[in-house]
Every structure is written in C-alpha cells, then in structure tokens.
Amino acid sequence: MNRFRSRGVLSPLLALLLALAGALPVSIAQARPRIPARRAITKASQSPRPRLVLLIVVDQFRYDYLSRFGDLFGSRGIGRLMRAGASWTEANFDHVPTFTAPGHAVFMTGASPSQTGIVANEWYERETGRKVKSITDDSTMMLGGKPNEKGKSPRRLLCSTVGDELRLADGDRSKVIGISAKDRSAILPAGRRANAAYWFSTDNGNIISGTYYFEHLPEWVVRFNNRHMADALFGVRWDRLLPNEAEYLRRAGRDDVPWENLDKSSADTNFFPHVVTGGSAAPDKPFYRALDYTPFSNDLLVAFAEEAIANERLGAGDATDLLSVSFSANDYVGHRFGPYSQEAMDMTLRVDRQIGKLLDFVDSRVGLGNTIVIFTADHGASPVPEQAALLNLAGRRYQKADLLKVAEEGLQARYARKDRPATDYIQTFQNRDETEQGLLNSNFYLNRRALQRDGIDLDEAERVLGEAVLKLPGVARYFTRRQLENNSISPADPVARRVLHGFYSQRSGDVIIVYEPYAIQFDPPDDPTDPHSSATHGSPYSYDTHVPLIIMGRDFASGRYTQAAAPTDIAPTLAHVLGLEAPSCSVGRVLAEALTAARQSKVR
Ligand SMILES: [Zn+2]
C-alpha cells in the first residue's frame, strides 16, 4: 500500500514510485529479463550447495523493533524471516564503539575491531598525522562520482571475509558484491577480494564505486545511473505507511516533539508529511542528502540490488555467490528523530516491505531454497537525551569541547610549571585544511613527543587525563592504553571486555572514555552544513549492542533460540555450512543449536 503522495507531481514520478514499491511492472522491470514463476522452498528445486548467500543489514535496527513493531510486519519481509528463519533473541555486539564501520566489519569476518582494525568510522592516523575514514584509500579513484575524487577501498580491513574465503576456495568462480547507501557499509562486508562494492553519491545522485574493483563502472551500472531515479524523487512526500496515526501514537508517541531538533540544514519539519527537496529548487547535493533521510533511498537500494542480481547473474551458476545489502536510511532517520519516534517506526515498517520485495525477487530468480539469508544490524541506538531526561532516565549530551576542557585542565593542574606550560599534551591532527584536537570516538590521543620532551611518563599522563575526565558528571569509566595492552582487563567485566575488543593499538587513542547509560557525545560533522544528530549510538549498553540475528536457509531449523550469540558468530557458521575455511580472524562460534538434524549428521 502506498501512502506517499506526490505534491502536484506528474504521472511518470507516480509510476516510478509504484514500480519502486513493486506495484507496477514498469520502468526498472522493463529492462530486466522475464522472471520465472515463484518457486516454493522445496527439496526438488535445491541445488547441491547454496547458490546465494544474502546478507541483509538494516543500519541502527534495534532488537526491540521486532517486538515493538513485529505484529505490523507483512508476510514477505522481516515477518517471513522471523517465521521461517532461526532467530537469536540474545545477540549482542561485544565491542565498543558500536558504530557502523566496526559493526559492518564484524559480520563476514567473525572478528572484533581489535582484529579487523576497523575501530571506528574514522580515526586519527598517527603515522600521517591526519584523520582517516575506515575506507579511505588515496591510491584509488572514485568511479561515477565527482571527477578526480580519491577513492575508497577495504585496504584497512585486516581480516578475510566469507566472500574472500569463497573466492579463495573455488578459484574466484564465486561472485561477491556489496551494496549500500554508505560506502563503508558496502565495502566492508564484501571484503578485500570482492568483485565490487557500490554505494550512493550525495554529490550527484549516482550509484558509484572505485578503481579498487575495476577501471570502469560496469555497463549495467551506467545504464542504471542514466535513468536518474533519484532525481525523479525530487519533491516526493513521505507520509505514514499506515493510514491511522493512532497506531503510531500508541507505539511511538507524539509526532511533533521538541527534542526532534532539526537543524536548519535539513530544510524539513519534525512531523509528517516530510517533503523531500533539501530546500532546493531542483535536484542537487542538499536534495540527495535529504533523500538519505527518507525511505525512498532504501527503495533505490532495492531497485539497484535487483539489477545487480539480474545483470551479474548472482545465484545462477553452480558456485555460491554472496550479496550484501545494507539499508542506511534507517540510521539517518534514527539519528534525526530517535528510536522512539513515529519516523523511526515508519522506517521500520517500510524496510520490512522493502526487504519483502527483495526476498520475493531472490525467490523468483534463485529460489529461497537455494539461498541462505542473514538478517542483522550493525548497532542499535539510544533515545534522544532530552527525551530520556524527561522520562527520568539519565539522558545527557556532551560536546567535544566539554571533554577537552576538563582533560586539558587536569593535565595542566598536574604538570604545568613556569618553564613548562603543558598546553600541548593532547595531540593535534590534520582534517582536510583544519587542525583539530585529538579526541575522537571518545578516544583521547596524547602527544607522545611533547610528553617525552617534558620528561613525563606516558602511563601516568594517561591516568591523570582519565581521572580529570572522570570528574565530569555522567562519565562512568576510563581505560588507558597501558591497561589494554598489558592484559590487565578482566573478561568477566563486560564493559572492559567490550572496550578491549574495540581497541587496536596502532589506530586507537591512549585514553578511552565510557559514559553512563543514556549519556552521549556526538562528534560534530566535518562539514558544518551537515546535519547534526539528535540521537546516536556507540556505547557498550544493550540499547546499542542488542541486535536481531536471523538466519533463514535449508541447513537451519526455524525457531527462536535463547542462547547467547553475537554477530561474530555469523561468519564461522556460514563457513561451516558452506564447507569453507573460517575467515582469517574468526573468533565466533558455530551456531550449532539451529543446524538441522540432517546438517548435523552430515558433519559427523
Ligand atoms: Zn549511525
């Protein structure tokens, strides 16, 4: 059912929208070969080995969205996965920070950031003195984006993925492709030996990639971009999917609330309907960025995933192919409106339908009986702090400057003398043309050269800084590099263990701060015109770590499993059922409780 109505818009746009929602076989459908009739999941149509592994990630999909909204799901999407798949009720990430890049690096490696090296979305690189993204790669170029733009690649990912192992095992006959609106979410699950990763450009509305994978974009991707499907969405109106607001009021509260504090750059309201123009008169960068904050960006992703399946013939051969699709728009919307908002609820209901469309397509092309589908998320989200505070939870919001101030005061109180001002003990880094103080991802980076110059012991300086920051109300704990490198962390301490699993010596800072529950610190965006967030994630607490983990496929017995599990378990489980070597850093366990009796006896 389509609730998005165009505002004085032409019928081609309506037709496109209906096609995106799967209601009309026009536009995109015209370009693809005829689809055979839908197959049931039967033994008869099964190939000797799974033909496709389909990883579906919804960015910032909290576990409790299954219970809060599950009865409103349709029968084809997440509802089908919950019914026909093996679902773990207690799957938690075991690392901090619970961010997008570290989470996406876990799924197909079976390893934590302490091994994958993907410790955050971006971090400070000591060797070059600059801020880098998890997928920055200046030795490559972008394809399809702005001209002469440096590229992105998985070179900073230190571990192999399930896709890599598939291709290593069968002489590259398997195809491995990652797709997302976000670059990191496309690149990292696919891995280093992937055939391709594709993501969305907010510069020009294209699906883009990089020279890490090939010299030119494949023909079918150029054709897809030539349709300018993003442009056709200019001025589209996002209204609630369900006709009655009462359902939203009951489950997500009022729509128009003050803590959905939109900054000016959004050019939008904090209530339905949202009209998507980015404040522009025609499609341009602000519009493409605005589109990221709507369900329509997920529609584009599904349309592109279907094109990838059709044109790359994924699941059509006798090798096992791997497709990773990560829905980013849910994260953007969650940041802007928070997890207890009508918008987050609507995004959840819509992504269920969008996943249903994708699964139906995979069923018609490959057969779900020949496919292993994994559904999970990269992290959860905490409520908007101002909303949490109203509910008597300890909601609190810090600015980077608040933390820097107490840290610098603490260092100066301990070390400053007449001949030693002690003002440069926090390392500075280059970020584009700016110099910034070394605090990122709640990691403080100390200036080792300055400390050495002044004869100050690094270990002690770490503790002095940590104690100073601890004085801020709402700061729970600090961990020093010394502690983390010398194994003085007890694995029985869950917060300490998660910090340790998120620490990679060459990339992490020297003092790592953990806040009390419901307190957040959000790093300001590099581009001051970028939207500022209301809610965020990154903590070691269950609202950020607890995610869905569902696997649907013939080797898995459907049902709910209450055993403790983690996203690190996905890769070793897949490697096991596919008969592959587990990825190089894999530390997860095989989720044996859900393997069918037939599969278990085959193992023995
Ligand atoms: Zn996020």
pLDDT of residue 77: 98
Average pLDDT of the chain to the nearest whole number:
91
DSSP H helical ranges for 366-399: 385-390
Q: How far is the CA of 101 from the centre of ligand 1 (A)?
A: 10
Question: Cα of 396 to ligand 1 centre, how many Å?
Answer: 18
Question: How many angstroms is it from 100 CA to the middle of ligand 1?
Answer: 6
**pLDDT of amino acid 9:** 39
Cα separation, 385 vs 382, whole angstroms: 8
DSSP class per residue in 237-276: EE--SSS-HHHHHHHH--SS-TTS---GGG-S-SSSPEEE
pLDDT of the residue at 40 = 40
Look at residue 36 in the predicted model and tell me its pLDDT.
Answer: 43
- What's the pLDDT at 529? 64
Distance separating alpha carbons of residues 544 and 550, to the nearest angstrom: 18
Cα 536 to averaged position of ligand 1 atoms, centre (Å):
6
CA 492/CA 490 separation, integer angstroms: 5
pLDDT of residue 11: 47
**537 CA from centroid of ligand 1 (Å):** 6
Q: 328 C-alpha vs ligand 1 centroid, how far in Å?
A: 9
For CA atoms 102, 108, 110, 116, the dihedral sign is negative
Residues with CB under 5 A from ligand 1 (ion): 331
Q: How far is CA 347 from CA 68, 221, 332, 334, in A?
A: 13, 27, 10, 9
Place of tokens 């910034």: 436
pLDDT at residue 22, rounded to an integer? 44
What is the pLDDT, as a whole number, of residue 267?
78
Point out the residues of the chain with pLDDT beneath 70: 1-46, 261, 524-531, 600-604
CA–CA distances in Å: residue 449 to residues 53, 105, 426: 49, 32, 10
User: Radius of gyration of the chain from Cα atoms?
Assistant: 24
Total Cβ atoms within 10 A of residue 406: 16
Strand order in the sheet with 122-125: 122-125, 130-133, 428-431, 434-437
